[in-house]
Amino acid sequence: MADLSRIVLDPAVLAGKPVVRGTRISVDFVIGLMADGWSETDILQNYPGLTHEDVTACLAYAHGLLASEKVYPSVV
């Protein structure tokens, strides 16, 4: 299970966007890199301040947001 305490929201850092603790690297940035085809290895090599656990926490955070999202299909 991912350690979500690695993700913090601080109004003084990136206007309160969720970031990896101790960095200014946002969750959406990490998820965006993965969406663009970056592997975890690519991310960790290019951002040595991140760990496997940080990447996993970003994925878990995004999953949690999407899992709790309410979807109301429109009737045509």
Is residue 75 scored above 90 in pLDDT?
A: no
Q: Is residue 58 part of a domain?
A: yes
pLDDT band at 54 (very low <50, low <70, confident <90, very high): very high
Q: Is residue 75 part of a domain?
A: no
- The count of other CB atoms within 10 Å of the CB of residue 9 is 12
Is residue 49 scored above 80 in pLDDT?
A: yes
Q: How many domains does the chain have?
A: 1
Q: Is residue 22 part of a domain?
A: yes
> Mean pLDDT, the chain, as a whole number?
94
The string of pLDDT tens digits covering residues 7-34 is 999 999 999 999 999 999 999 999 999 9
Q: What is the pTM of this model?
A: 0.88
Q: Is residue 76 part of a domain?
A: no
